[in-house]
Structure 1
Amino acid sequence: MNDRETGKLHTMDKLTNELQAYWEKLAYNQPSAIQEKVFTPLIEGKDVIGISPTGTGKTVAYTLPLLETIVPKAGLQVVILTPSQELAVQVAAVVKEWAKQVDIKVQPLIGGANIKRQLEKLRDKPEIIVGTAGRILEISDLKKLKLHQVKTVILDEADHLLQQDQLATVRKVVANMPNERQMGFFSATSNEIMTEMPKWFNSDPLWIDVTNEDESHGTVVHGYIETPTRKRVEVIKRLTQLPDFSGLVFINNVANLVTVAEKLSYEGVSVAVLHGEKYKTERQHALQQFRNKKVKLLLTTDVASRGLDIHGLPYVIQYDLPMTKESYIHRSGRTARMGADGTVLTLVNDRERREFKKIVEPLEIELTPLYLFGGEIVTERPEQTEQVEVESKPASPKVKKEKKKNAPTPEIPKKRKNKKKDQKNKGARRKTKE
């Protein structure tokens, strides 16, 4: 029985007929907490900070109310900024699907893509642009993108966009927009700058945090496998032999990532790699291979920890520890999205295990020690005798020989003890004299 049959009214009932029909076509049920809470404030033109766990539909949360306010064929009205090319492409795809239901055009603008082709596409006069701040600023400075009519700017993964390395570029983009524009900031976590919006953007947004009330995410097992660093490639190889396995593996630096990928490939494991030093087309190809189940592993840095939606991803594996609790939140958020279940596996040695527990302690999650045994992940430590490798060589026959019964024990001459110093090696000295 759905909400309409029970007589319950929620914000999605306020959508235009076309958007409501698409909502039902996608078999969506009740909206998530963030979708419910930000709908009315955004329609009313208020500035909003929306904090919600990963995988709870934040893109749809800001897209639907904005589509209700956009005037078709009236020029650029909404700009959505993202911290990475991959996320911009993904967000643009989601927004585009909803926007075409109401005849609104969406264009992605990202670095690494052909800028000439992007300029040609701008002639179609899209009402929404999704992109990275650097490329949008570049095209704006060329006077090829007019931002003076923008009504709303959304910062997706706002806490990352508002770190010091991107803040200046974001502020320059926003400075090219009208002073009275609407602002929306969405993320799974916040940072100090997000609490100082009047200082940075002359904005005093409504703060909506549904972290503790959202119930749309699935069950996540947060586990760790204790293993020496030198054996982690072997552990990952064994994980790929689990039924229906698919895993996103986080490695902290590119050099180590490449080394691990080469070792796994040598062992016959199908892998793809995704990091910031790859070309845009290579990164897109790697993601597509992984999403299409053509490879079992996607090795990545934290470039893939934010916003990327990989449908039905069962495992997130941390080859290296996350640097912060926020990093752990975003990494683990790639699994158990929108009601699905998932497992986050962290590989640690004894020292790292203690450090890892300190990192995630503020998150109040239950960490479970896990073991890989007999082609399964188990929660109880296998007996030591069971952990002996099958391939180990049998003991040498000499070791197994039994003593003959009643065989006389040879006498071992006792060593003379406490020889006086002047008595030692007397025979040797005497022979020398002779």
Structure 2
Amino acid sequence: MEKQRVIRDILHLDLDAFYASVEQLDYPELRGLPVIVGGHPGRGVVCACSYEARRFGVHSAMPMFRALRLCPGAKVRPVRISRYKQISRQVFNVFGRYTDLVEPLSVDEAFLDVTGSRRLFGSARQIAETIRHDIRTDLGLTISAGIAHNKFLAKLASERAKPDGFFEVPDNIDEFLLPLELKCLWGVGPVMLEELRGLGLCTVGDLRKMPLADLKWRFGKAGIQLHRLAHGEDSRPVEPDSVVKSISHEETFDKDIRDRDTIHAALLDLAERVAARLRRTGLSAKTLTLKVRYADFTTVSRSRTFGSGFQQVKQIHRVAMELLQKTEAGAKPVRLLGINLHALNKGLGSQGMLFDEDHDKRSMQLDQTLDLLRARYGEKGICRATLMGWRGGESPQD
């Protein structure tokens, strides 16, 4: 006898303009005003912005100077990651009141499977509204909710609901899905979008009419995925223990840098930050990607993959330095540097891949000692001598 398929109730919950909303929460005088969260007004980029700022055309990843040109009256606030994480934990605690099946996507959004919660808390719609009420009442923030029978549609629904609303995909999903533009589909970036438009396809309804065989011939596996999404199909479960896929950190400098010693110190600082996060999560990485953005906004990346994992600061710094030699950093002024670690695995990996065994043990002990000291005295109070004066935007001391 064929097992009856359970119809799932999935919520996608997304806090509205999260970073900017936290700033307006902590500084009530900013409420109703255009707020931009980001780096130095002359050099940084927009991390987030309030809906009041978005009306002027400001958006995330935009250079700050351009954002302030569009919205000269905006109030600029620095990024306060620790504060946002603190609020995020409180938000996720609210989610946990109604289901154990919570899959975080970032600090400000998650999927919830509330199929098993209906007997206790009512329909998916009632649960979504209760969560929105709790977050507004307990935390003073607004959150948008999308409700559907799978993750793909729930995500699209929450985008429709923004800001501060909820939207439930109707049982006849075609009413909602077919009129949507193709750029709404996962995996459809600018290049694929142009290809699809070249075929005369503009909406999901247009894509639905294209035979699977044709999509498969033109796009391979991506064509199969397009066909499924055009029919609203997504069988992925909500996974509470989502695996961390990458760890990265990047820095935009107040002034372009080209001095090699300064660049090397900046890379050491980045290596310390990503290595500390690796150790906290008990992971090691096999691949390192170095990102370099020059003063003219040209961006290049260089990668190296190893057969076994690495975790230590000096290992990461050495690989980053080797990759730096394959760029024009120094010959051309540098605006931004970043290190991204991926191909992550549980455990320490083979720590002796870059150093001799004795040096390797000493390096590991130093990293662990710094972790203990920072846990006790704080991040800003403890650093390597090479980085004295670096964190906080100054050049390193000799």
TM-score category (smaller protein): under 0.3
The answer to which structure has the higher strand fraction is 2
Select the structure of larger CA radius of gyration.
1
TM-score (norm. length: structure 1): 0.25
TM-score (norm. length: structure 2): 0.27
Flag the structure with more relative contact order, 1 or 2, with Cα contacts below 8 A and sequence separation at least 6. 1
